């Protein structure tokens, strides 16, 4: 094989493996803002502040957009979270989130005074708690596009200072954005501490809202019996193997090595053999070590004196939030017995005496004579 071709095939294989290791991005987005697809939740209000929302058919960037109005009496403030109802993401089912990107277009309409601004942040809800991302406060009178890339769970904080859980242990995540305002009096364009006694409204719009999630592919585990025959004789063990792959089928050629501290895989035990009597009992879990792609489970027969038929041990992989089940999740090992039926050669085999043999011959002769007479009469 020419060296250039070997190098080419090496890089093709490397590219294939790397593509198998990364799950496809998941995008949650909206640019239509139908009222049925959104909910607005006032998470904080003071001084009688209120809000209203609507879908505007034109004037967006382009087309439809979501219009938001905050009504702010004297000495008031409001925080509103807008939650998208059209989709969610569950890391425990769909895979851990490594990073996410956030985008929105926003605009302020008819500000109540020069320099009036709209508070803005991306927002996530998990486990009933809202978490808010980086500050995107704006006061532009034309549509502005903003993009945040590479955000992690540490870029979002809740009111208690906690963060969402993007790992495979995390629960369902709902997506949205937040808007906020506080009534401040302005004299000559500069804010002062006293509130505006007359109150005012702020109006803003959002368009082309989206999250793009870079998820970590859950490993896929498969089960096989690489030594499906065990026996009591000679302590012949059987071996199951749990294999880790990037895609179904447990293809070790495309396997992704486990990260520290390793992957714990659970399984159920069945079959006709009795654990603890016919073989050494199993724990129900096996750990694929960090840096490895397989782990073996050994079936060690117990040599007893019982005469038995061959017996089976069957393992079935159990589902978990830390991995996906592949196409092969059940395997069986047969344990052969080594005990035969015992024959006691110390006892003589019973035999008939001469008188017994003579009596048996007489009976057979009488039966024969009776059969012949019956034939003659017939």
**pTM tops 0.75:** no
**Residue 132 main-chain phi, psi, to 5 deg:** -115, 140
Q: Which two tokens stand for residue 230?
A: 């065990």
Q: Three-state SS for 16?
A: helix
pLDDT tens, 162-176? 999 998 889 999 999
Residue 322 lies in a domain: yes
Residues 204 and 131 in one domain: yes
Residues 233 and 323 in one domain: yes
Residue 362 lies in a domain: no
Residues 186 and 288 in one domain: no
Helix (H) or strand (E) holding 27: strand 26-30
- The residue whose two tokens read 């219009």 is 67
Helix (H) or strand (E) holding 230: strand 229-231
pLDDT tens, 268-310? 999 999 999 999 999 999 999 988 999 999 999 998 777 778 9
pLDDT category of residue 323 using cuts at 50, 70 and 90: confident
Residue 76 lies in a domain: yes
Distance between CA 95 and CA 246 in Å, rounded? 13
The domain boundary, picked from 175, 193, 215, lies at 215
Residue 378 lies in a domain: no
- The number of C-alpha atoms within 13 Å of 20 and in the hemisphere containing its C-beta is 21
Residues 59 and 165 in one domain: yes
Number of Cβ atoms within 10 Å of the Cβ of 137: 10
Residue 4 lies in a domain: no
Task: Give how many domains the chain has, as a whole number.
Answer: 2
DSSP conformation letters of 287-334: EE-TT-SEEEEEE-B---S-----EEEEEEEPPBTTBEE-S--EEEEE
Q: What is the largest CA-CA distance in the chain?
A: 145
CATH number, domain with residue 113: 2.60.120.260
Domain hosting residue 292, numbered range: 220-336
If we measure between CA atoms, which residue out of 309, 246, 262, 303 comes closest to residue 280?
303
Residue 291's pLDDT is 87
Residue 12 has pLDDT above 70, yes or no: no
CATH number, domain with residue 260: 2.60.40.2030
Distance between CA 121 and CA 207 in Å, rounded? 14
The domain boundary, picked from 190, 215, 240, lies at 215
Residue 347 lies in a domain: no
pLDDT category of residue 373 using cuts at 50, 70 and 90: confident
């Amino acid at each position: 094989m020419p060296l250039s071709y070997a190098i080419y095939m090496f890089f093709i294989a490397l590219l294939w493996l790397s593509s198998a290791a990364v799950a496809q991005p998941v995008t949650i987005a909206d640019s239509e803002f139908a009222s049925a697809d959104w909910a607005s939740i006032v998470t904080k209000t003071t001084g009688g502040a209120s809000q209203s929302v609507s879908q505007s058919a034109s004037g967006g960037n382009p087309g439809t957009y979501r219009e938001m109005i905050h009504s702010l009496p004297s000495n008031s403030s409001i925080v509103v979270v807008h939650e998208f109802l059209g989709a969610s993401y569950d890391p425990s089912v769909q895979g851990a989130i490594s990073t996410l990107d956030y985008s929105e277009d926003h605009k302020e309409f008819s500000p109540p005074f020069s320099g009036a601004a709209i508070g803005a942040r991306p927002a996530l809800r998990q486990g009933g708690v809202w978490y808010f991302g980086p500050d995107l406060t704006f006061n532009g009178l034309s549509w502005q596009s903003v993009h945040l890339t590479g955000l992690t769970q540490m870029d979002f904080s809740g009111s208690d200072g906690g963060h969402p859980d993007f790992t495979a242990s995390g629960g369902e995540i709902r997506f949205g954005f937040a808007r906020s305002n506080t009534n401040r009096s302005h004299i000559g364009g500069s804010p002062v501490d006293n509130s505006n006694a007359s109150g005012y409204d702020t109006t803003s719009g959002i368009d082309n809202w989206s999250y793009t999630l870079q998820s970590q592919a859950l490993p896929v585990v498969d089960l096989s019996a690489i030594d499906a025959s065990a026996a009591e004789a000679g302590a012949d063990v059987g071996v199951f193997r749990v294999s880790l792959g990037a895609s179904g089928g447990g293809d070790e050629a495309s396997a992704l090595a486990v990260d520290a501290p390793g992957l714990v895989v659970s399984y159920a035990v069945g079959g006709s053999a009795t654990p603890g009597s016919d073989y050494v009992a199993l724990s129900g879990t096996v750990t694929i070590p960090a840096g490895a792609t397989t782990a073996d489970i050994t079936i060690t027969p117990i040599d007893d004196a019982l005469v038995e038929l061959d017996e089976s041990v069957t393992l079935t992989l159990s589902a978990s939030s830390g991995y996906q089940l592949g196409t092969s999740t059940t395997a069986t090992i047969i344990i052969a017995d080594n005990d035969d039926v015992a024959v006691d050669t110390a006892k003589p085999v019973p035999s008939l005496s001469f008188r017994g043999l003579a009596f048996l011959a007489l009976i057979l002769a009488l039966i024969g004579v009776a059969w012949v007479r019956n034939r003659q009469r017939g």
